[in-house]
Structure 1
C-alpha cells in the first residue's frame, strides 16, 4: 500500500513541477502573460509541498528518486501537451531512470 501511495505522490509532484515549469515557459517564452507565470509559480510551490508527503523520511532519497520521475514525466508531458515524439533513445533513457527510481525507493533495506 505504501508503494502505491508513494507512486501516486510522485505522479502528483511531477504534474505540479512539470506543469508549473510549462506555465512559466508559456507566460514568458510564448508571451501569454503574467497570469500564466503566476499560476506556474503556484504550481511549483505545490510541488515542494507534495514532496513532503512521501512516506519515506529521507529528503535526499526522495529528491534523487524524483529526478527519474521528472525525466520520464517530462517526456510524457511533451508528448501529450506539445506533440513531441520521443525517439527510442529518449524512451530507453526514461526507462533507465524509472528503474533507478525503483531501486532507490523500493529496494528492500535492512
Structure 2
C-alpha cells in the first residue's frame, strides 16, 4: 500500500515510464527466478508474454517525445 501511495505523490513527469520499466524488469526476472530457483521451465507462451512486456516497456521508454 505504501508503494502505491508514494507513486501518486511523484511530481516528476517520467515517473510513469520508470515504473513501467520496473514492472517489465520484474516480469522477466520473475520468469528467470522461477526457471533457475524453482525449476519451473517456462514454455513458449511465457517467453512470448515476457517479450511482449519488454516491447511495451521499450515503447514507453524510448519513443521520442516533444
TM-score scaled by length of structure 1: 0.45
**Take 1:87 and 1:107, find their aligned partners in 2: how far apart are those partners?**
30
Q: Does 1:79 align with 2:38?
A: no
TM superposition outliers: structure 1 runs of 4+ over 3 Å: none
**Take 1:102 and 1:64, find their aligned partners in 2: how far apart are those partners?**
9
CA deviation map 1:13-45 (0-9, x unaligned)? xxxxxxxxxxxxxxxxxxxxxxxxxxxxxxxxx
**Partners of 1:68 and 1:98 within 8 A in 2:** yes
- 1:16 is aligned to none
- 2:54 is aligned to 98
Shift of 1:94: 0.2
TM-score scaled by length of structure 2: 0.70
Gaps of 5+ in 2: 1-12
> Which structure carries more relative contact order (alpha carbon 8 Å, separation 6+)?
2
Aligned-residue RMSD, C-alpha: 1.7
**Partners of 1:72 and 1:94 within 8 A in 2:** yes
Aligned length: 55
Gaps of 5+ in 1: 1-56
Q: Where does 1:11-30 land on structure 2 (aligned, <5 Å)?
A: none
Q: Which of the pair is proportionally richer in helix?
A: 1
